[in-house]
């Protein structure tokens, strides 16, 4: 993927996220840890990030217990890929605990490499089909904030996060 | 909280064929009273939600470039999956077992419920979850209509199991002891104020609940605790991918995610029809389901789990153990998760074998048919619904899983307007399913009555079988012919109180509804008396000379104008206007005495009668079609019969020939103008052709135009709008899907008030200034608007015809 395409993809993702009232942060791998530390609200929990040169801030608990999960204000997970057209991040449901960490805390921060942004749903399903073929077959497409209109008006942050931030690693 | 009556109004099943539709006038009154109460108590809330979802669906559909390709692809995947369903069941069994889970195929509700209760009891005995407050085994559920179909909650509770719904809407219903009014938004009939009142009374908070925000926070905390304590999480499944054993859950709140992965045991319950072959097949459905349901591009959470998943179990009564402590590090997977997939048959195998109901199994339960339905918007699923399911497609589901009696309770609320046809993401012909089930209900009522009808109607003859009103409206052509022959006496008689009272008691025709007035001279006779085809050829040639048109091939047409029942006997003016307009544009016309289209019997569920009519119409038109003449139709519902339902009645070549050569009147006029016909002879907004060519309509004369529902489904609203614009008008169209009259519907005593409620919304949306013209393409749309707006509402062709009458 060329740099231009990357830029376009990030821009498209940002645009889609704006409509969902989700902020997108562009950051280099070297600055990612510092930016994450600034974005999170403590107590925070997270999953080790699989991107080269990116470490999760020290204030983040990476081996949460049930109690820290219940108390956490922020949960940080990687996104395996993102779908620019819809503003979707793909969160794996795996042993490291991405699924509960992304859904229990009020604020979810998803970290995605710019090279993992696909343009549309078909691109997403291409990635998904590859993962399924390789045996990784539990994943969540998360788009925007948890919402309900069941109580008479639209309210965000029901069972899932009321605030979502997508951090794009521009050089990854 | 408003008193609600729907529970008593719902079918309890059984009842030996006793349906509302063929019992006499007291039953009509009961139905009317039930619907009236729903209009008053739930209608506004339902309308607010469904109409917004419907508009948003329209918007997102319009923005989706490849929508038709997506719908076709989704449809093809479902057709294929249902076709090889038995093999897919075996495929998913192998996949889930290979993943470490269990598949159970349940024959019926009792079977499914017993299996789930056993799973819960077994797990509760060994569970590591926190003890629930009651000490009873506990289950948390995410929203699932399939478990509503099973009455699973009652079944589990009778086994001593504590069940908590975690979808906020479902939980509200659980607290209120109410039933879903919509398959996607189950509690949409309740307002925020009603929920606040209910919750304040039920949970006795320090401060009374008021805002949706407060209610949602309370629900989240309350339900969060239930989820943390639960022994078992139960979810439905929007789709099940057979090859990988993947359960797909499409949600907005996040509760399904929590229910699926927080307790160590996950039970997913899905109808067998939810199976699709591979993960690739999921894509069009993920793309379509939220668009169809709420107009969102995609739902917040599309969860694709192939359980038992590796996600760590959460044990909240061991708060300081790292989550995933029970996970076996060596296999990098959870060792203590249990997963059961319960695949429910409950009548689906029989539906699959039923050529007419099979399509129902393609349904992805998005609720678009409910949202796009004017009657549903008015009364909601407590009126337009059976034991479990609601909306247009519910007739298929109820007939299949609960039996025909449950479908018969509400089936007549489908008017066949077809607006759901465009809305359905898998292109199910929902009106056809409603027609077929209505036909079956009719037949079950009194089989011998049906054969008699094929021969013709004698409305005064008593019958214990098929509803007299349906017989009357199904044979309206015979009635109209008789009415015309005896006009004006028939018209005077029809308006007398004793006759109206009799009509209401015997045929269920509401006394408040104005009856059509028959013309003494039918259109066909007028045309003959005027000199028939020869005279029309002369006038067309004169029209062409006057316009100085060079006869090009595109304009060298001959038209057979179809004299539908209403144009021929009731509203002959629009027929005359059509003839004059075509002639002025240089096209000669014939108006032969043609058979009825079969639309009227179709709308009453009299399929055999309609089938016979289709053959008669085609036989009568075959020579004209062979001679290259175009069939032009004024009444959109008759054109819709030619272009939609006839596909089921005629051989393919015959159907295609008629379909390809039949046109709606304004569509045909638009074609003539596009091909160079000179519009100078038409009447225009400015008069005398001065303002012709106001194509963008910006400075045109305001005109309110309500297109006909079936015309919209044929994509034929635009040509009328374009013709009006060319004639100097600035047409304003409505978003209300149907006028509420829908042929016979608005005449029926039990539905009169629903019809008026739907019509009121249309009238207030059009809100014409007193000087504005109001036009409508359908007869019943025009009648309805004339009543509601208290003014003349002509057909558009009457406005543009030369020498128009006002």
CATH number at B264 reads 3.40.50.10420
Tell me whether residues A128 and B304 touch, CB distance under 8 A: yes
Residues of B in contact with A153 (CB under 8 A): 192, 211-213
| pLDDT one-digit tens code per residue, B671-697 | 999 998 888 889 888 654 444 444 444
Q: What is the pLDDT of residue B662?
A: 98
CB contact under 8 A, B319 and A70: yes
Per-residue model confidence (pLDDT) at position B687? 54
CB atoms within 10 A of CB B448: 11
Q: What is the DSSP letter of A65?
A: B
Percent of chain B with pLDDT over 70: 89
Give the pLDDT score at A151: 84
Whether B745 shows a pLDDT value over 70: the answer reads yes
The β-bridge relationship of strands B102-106 and B338-344 is: parallel
Measured in angstroms, the CA of B301 and the nearest CA of chain A are apart by 5
**Residues A147, B332: C-beta atoms closer than 8 Å:** no
Sign of CA dihedral A72, A76, A80, A86: positive
List alpha helices for B210-308, DSSP H. Answer: 212-229, 255-261, 282-294
Whether residue B233 lies inside any domain: the answer is: yes
| Closest CA–CA distance from residue A164 to any residue of chain B (Å) | 12
Q: Which two tokens stand for residue B219?
A: 């629900």
pLDDT tens sequence across B289-298: 999 999 999 9
Asked whether residue B459 carries a pLDDT value surpassing 70, the answer given is: no
**Is residue B458 predicted with pLDDT exceeding 70?**
no
Gyration radius from chain B CA atoms: 29
Residue to test with chain A: of B53, B301, B313, B336, most A Cβ within 10 A: B301
User: What local confidence, expressed as pLDDT, does residue B551 receive?
Assistant: 60
CA distance B342 to B106: 7
The arithmetic mean of pLDDT across residues B770-796, rounded, is 92
How many angstroms separate the CA atoms of B248 and B279, rounded?
A: 10
Count the alpha carbons within 13 Å of B737 in the hemisphere toward its beta carbon: 29
Give chain A's domain count.
1
Least CA distance to B315: which residue of chain A?
Answer: A66
Residues of A in contact with B287 (CB under 8 A): 121
Digit-coded pLDDT (tens) for B551-575:
666 778 999 999 999 999 999 999 9
Which domain does B754 fall in, by range? 523-800
Q: What is the mean pLDDT of residues B644-654?
A: 97
Q: What is the pLDDT of residue B477?
A: 80
> Given this model, what pLDDT does residue B549 score?
59
E strand intervals along B696-771: 701-706, 729-733
pLDDT of residue B468: 75
Inter-chain touch B323–A69, beta carbons under 8 Å = yes
pLDDT of residue B450: 41
Give dist(CA B233, CA A44) in Å, integer. Answer: 26
pLDDT above 80 (res B471): no
Record: contact A150-B167, CB cut-off 8 A:
yes
Structural domain of A49: 3-169
State residue B133's pLDDT score: 61
Which of B279, B312, B335, B339 is best to mutate for the A interface (most A CBs within 10 A)?
A: B312
Residue B448 has pLDDT above 80, yes or no: no
Q: Best mutation site among B128, B181, B247, B300 for testing chain A: the one with the most A CBs within 10 Å?
A: B300
Q: Which residue has the tokens 């199994």?
A: B361
Q: Out of A64, A100, A149, name the one closest to residue B261 (CB).
A: A100
Any domain includes B453: no
Note whether B782 and B796 are within 8 A (CB).
no
Q: If pLDDT is split at 50, 70 and 90, which confidence band does B13 have? A: very low
Question: Region B527-533: what's the mean pLDDT?
Answer: 96
Average pLDDT of chain B is 88
CATH of the domain at A146: 3.40.50.10420
* A67, A69, A86 ranked by CB distance to B297: nearest: A86
- Which of B192, B254, B304 is facing A158, going by the closest CB pair? B254
pLDDT score for B325: 55
* d(C-alpha B596, C-alpha B618), whole Å: 11
Residue B253 with chain A: CB contacts under 8 Å: 146-148, 150, 158-160
Q: Which ranges of B262-414 would DSSP assign to H, the alpha helix?
A: 282-294, 348-353, 368-371, 374-379, 394-401, 404-408
Per-residue confidence band for B2, with pLDDT thresholds at 50, 70 and 90: very low
User: Which residues face B328 on adjacent strands?
Assistant: B333
State whether B283 and A125 contact (CB < 8 Å). Answer: yes
Please report whether residue B434 resides in a domain.
Answer: no
In a domain, B20, yes or no: no
Please give the share of chain B, as a percent, with pLDDT higher than 90: 71
Q: Which tokens in the block code for residue B645?
A: 């339902």
The whole-number pLDDT of residue B14 equals 35
Choosing from B381, B411, B441, the residue where a domain stops is: B411
For residue A132, list chain B residues with Cβ-Cβ distance below 8 A.
Answer: 244, 246, 279
Position B220 pLDDT exceeds 80 = yes
Residues B737 and B617 in one domain: yes
Mean per-residue pLDDT, B38-58? 96
Q: What confidence tier does B3 reach under pLDDT thresholds 50, 70, 90?
A: very low
Number of domains in chain B: 2
Cβ of B324 within 8 Å of Cβ of A95? The answer is yes
Domain C-terminal end among B384, B411, B438: B411
Q: Which member of A122, A152, A159 has the closest CB to residue B254?
A: A159
To the nearest whole Å, the CA of B50 is away from the closest chain A CA by 12
Answer yes or no: do B166 and A159 touch at CB < 8 A.
yes
CB contact under 8 A, B301 and A140: yes
Q: Residue B517: which pLDDT band, with cuts at 50, 70 and 90?
A: confident
Interface of A with B in 128-167 (CB under 8 A): 128-129, 132, 137-155, 157-161
User: HSE of B276 in the Cβ direction (CA atoms, 13 Å)?
Assistant: 27
Nearest to B220 among A139, A147, A158 (CB): A158
Confirm if B11 and B34 have CB atoms less than 8 A apart: no
Residues of chain A with C-beta less than 8 angstroms from the C-beta of B305: 93, 138
Nearest-CA distance from A53 to chain B in Å? 24
Mean pLDDT of B261-280: 96
ipTM score of complex: 0.96
Mutate to test the interface with B, among A138, A157, A161 (most CBs of B within 10 A): A138
Q: Which of A64, A125, A149 faces B323 most closely, judged by CB atoms? A: A64
**SS3 at position B311:** coil
Evaluate the CA torsion angle B183, B188, B190, B193 in order and state its sign: positive
Residue from the list A66, A132, A150 with its beta carbon closest to the beta carbon of B318: A66
Residue B269: C-alpha distances to residues B20, B158, B496, B734 (Å): 33, 19, 59, 41
- Answer whether residue B14 is part of any domain: no
Residue B5 binned pLDDT confidence (cut-offs 50, 70, 90): very low
Indicate the Cα dihedral angle B61, B62, B68, B72, nearest 10°.
0
Mean pLDDT along residues B633-648: 97
Distance from CA of B79 to the nearest CA of A (A): 22
B696 and B556 fall within a common domain: yes
**Residue at which a domain ends, from B355, B386, B411:** B411
Report the pLDDT averaged over residues B279-285: 97
Residue B448 located in a structural domain: no
Contact present, B409 and B372 (Cβ < 8 Å): no
How big is the A-B interface in CB pairs under 8 Å? 187
CB proximity under 8 Å: A 38-77 to B:
63-67, 69-70
Asked if the Cβ–Cβ distance from A97 to B324 is below 8 Å, we say: yes
pLDDT given for residue B131 in this prediction: 57
DSSP state of A96: T
For residue A128, give the 3-state DSSP assignment: helix
Comparing CB atoms, the residue among A98, A140, A159 nearest residue B255 is A159
Chain A residues in contact with B248 (beta carbon < 8 A): none
Which chain A residues touch B220 with a CB distance below 8 Å? 157-159
A118-167 pLDDT tens trace? 999 999 999 999 998 888 789 999 999 999 888 888 899 999 999 999 99
Q: Is residue B464 part of a domain?
A: no
Residue of B nearest to A139 (CA): B304
pLDDT tens digits for range B165-201: 999 999 999 999 999 999 999 999 999 999 999 999 9
Picking from B603, B668, B667, the residue whose alpha carbon sits closest to that of residue B641 is B603
Nearest CA among A99, A107, A72, A46 for reference residue B261: A99
**Residue A78 pairs with which residues in a beta bridge?**
A111
From residue A72, give the alpha-carbon distance in Å to each of A32, A44, A101.
21, 5, 9
Q: Which of B49, B52, B173, B252 to mutate to test the interface with A (most CBs of A within 10 A)?
A: B252
């Amino acid at each position: 993927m060329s740099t231009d395409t990357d830029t376009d993809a990030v821009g498209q993702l940002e645009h889609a996220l704006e409509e969902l009232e989700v902020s997108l942060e562009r950051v280099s791998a070297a600055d990612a840890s510092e930016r994450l530390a600034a974005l999170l609200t403590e107590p925070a929990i997270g999953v080790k990030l699989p991107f080269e040169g990116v470490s999760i801030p020290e204030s983040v608990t990476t081996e949460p217990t049930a109690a820290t999960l219940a108390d956490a204000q922020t949960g940080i997970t990687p996104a395996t890929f993102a779908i620019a057209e819809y503003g979707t991040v793909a969160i794996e449901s795996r042993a490291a605990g991405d699924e509960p960490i992304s859904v229990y805390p009020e604020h979810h921060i998803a970290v995605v490499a710019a090279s993992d942004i696909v343009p549309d749903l078909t691109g997403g399903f291409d990635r998904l089909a590859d993962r399924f073929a390789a045996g990784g077959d539990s994943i969540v497409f998360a788009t925007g904030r948890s919402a309900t209109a069941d109580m008479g008006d639209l309210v965000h942050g029901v069972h899932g996060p009321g605030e979502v931030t997508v951090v794009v690693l521009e050089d990854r | 909280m408003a008193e609600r009556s729907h529970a008593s109004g719902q079918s309890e099943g059984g009842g030996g064929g006793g349906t509302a539709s063929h019992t006499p006038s007291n039953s009509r009154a009961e139905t009317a009273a039930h619907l009236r109460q729903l209009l008053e108590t739930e209608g506004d809330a339902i309308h607010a939600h469904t109409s917004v979802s419907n508009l948003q669906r329209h918007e997102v559909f319009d923005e989706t470039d490849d929508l038709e390709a997506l719908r076709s692809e989704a449809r093809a995947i479902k057709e294929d999956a249902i076709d090889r369903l038995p093999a897919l069941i075996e495929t998913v069994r192998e996949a889930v077992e290979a993943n470490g889970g269990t598949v159970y195929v349940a024959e019926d509700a009792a079977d499914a419920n017993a299996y789930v209760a056993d799973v819960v009891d077994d797990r509760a005995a060994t569970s590591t979850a926190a003890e629930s407050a009651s000490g009873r085994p506990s289950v948390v559920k995410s929203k699932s209509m399939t478990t509503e179909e099973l009455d699973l909650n009652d079944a589990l509770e009778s086994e001593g199991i504590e069940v908590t719904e975690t979808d906020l809407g479902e939980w509200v219903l659980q607290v209120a002891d109410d039933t879903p009014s919509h398959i996607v938004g189950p509690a949409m009939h309740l307002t925020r104020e009603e929920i606040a009142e209910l919750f304040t009374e039920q949970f006795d908070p320090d401060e009374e609940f008021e805002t949706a925000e407060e209610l949602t926070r309370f629900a989240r905390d309350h339900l969060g605790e239930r989820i943390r304590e639960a022994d078992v999480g139960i979810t439905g499944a929007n789709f099940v991918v057979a090859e990988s054993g993947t359960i797909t859950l499409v949600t907005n709140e996040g509760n399904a995610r929590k229910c699926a992965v927080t307790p160590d045991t996950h039970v997913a319950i899905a109808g067998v029809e939810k199976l699709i072959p591979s993960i690739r097949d999921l894509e069009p459905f993920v793309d379509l389901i939220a668009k169809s349901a709420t107009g969102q591009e995609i739902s917040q959470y599309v969860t694709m789990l192939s359980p038992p998943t590796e996600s760590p179990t959460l044990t909240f009564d061991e708060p300081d153990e790292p989550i995933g402590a029970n996970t076996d590090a060596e296999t990098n997977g959870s060792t203590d998760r249990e997963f059961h997939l319960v695949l429910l048959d409950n009548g689906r195998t029989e539906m699959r074998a039923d050529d007419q109901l099979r399509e129902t199994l393609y349904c992805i339960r998005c609720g678009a048919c409910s949202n796009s339905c004017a009657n549903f918007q008015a009364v909601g699923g407590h009126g337009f619904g059976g034991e479990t399911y609601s909306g247009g497609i519910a007739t298929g589901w109820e007939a299949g899983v609960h039996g025909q009696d449950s479908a018969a309770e509400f089936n007549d609320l489908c008017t066949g307007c077809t607006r759901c046809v465009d809305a359905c993401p898998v292109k199910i012909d929902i009106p056809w399913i409603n027609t077929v089930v209505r036909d079956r209900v009719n037949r079950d009522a009194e089989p011998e009555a049906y054969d008699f009808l094929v021969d013709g109607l004698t409305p005064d003859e008593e019958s214990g079988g098929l509803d007299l009103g349906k017989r009357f409206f199904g044979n309206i052509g015979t009635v109209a012919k008789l009415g015309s022959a005896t006009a004006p006496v028939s018209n005077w008689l029809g308006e007398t109180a004793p006759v109206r009272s009799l009509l209401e008691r015997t045929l269920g025709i509401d006394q408040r509804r104005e009856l059509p007035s028959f013309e003494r001279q039918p259109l066909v006779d007028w045309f003959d008396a005027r000199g028939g085809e020869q005279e029309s050829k002369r006038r067309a040639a004169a029209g062409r000379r006057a316009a100085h048109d060079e006869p090009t091939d595109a304009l060298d047409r001959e038209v057979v104008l179809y004299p539908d029942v209403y144009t021929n006997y009731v509203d002959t003016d629009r027929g005359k206007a059509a003839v004059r307009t075509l002639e002025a544009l240089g096209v000669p016309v014939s108006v032969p005495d043609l058979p009825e289209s079969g639309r009227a019997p179709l709308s009453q569920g009299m399929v055999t009668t309609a089938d016979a009519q289709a053959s008669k119409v085609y036989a009568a038109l075959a020579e004209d079609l062979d001679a290259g003449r175009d069939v032009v139709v004024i009444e959109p519902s008759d054109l819709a019969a030619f272009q939609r339902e006839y596909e089921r009645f005629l051989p393919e070549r015959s159907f295609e020939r008629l379909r390809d050569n039949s046109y709606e009147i304004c569509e045909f006029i638009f074609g003539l103008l596009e091909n160079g016909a000179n519009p100078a002879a038409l009447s225009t907004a400015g008069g005398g052709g001065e303002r012709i060519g106001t194509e963008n309509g910006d400075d045109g004369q305001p005109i309110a135009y309500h297109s006909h529902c079936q015309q919209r489904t044929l994509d034929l609203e635009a040509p009328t709008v374009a013709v009006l614009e060319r004639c100097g008008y600035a047409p304003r169209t409505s978003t209300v899907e149907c006028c509420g009259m829908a042929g016979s519907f608005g005449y029926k005593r039990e539905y009169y008030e629903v019809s008026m409620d739907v019509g009121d919304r249309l009238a207030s949306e059009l809100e014409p200034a007193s000087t504005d013209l109001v036009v409508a393409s359908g007869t019943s749309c025009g009648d309805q608007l004339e009543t509601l707006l208290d003014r003349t509402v002509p057909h558009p062709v009457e406005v543009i015809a030369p020498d128009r009458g006002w």
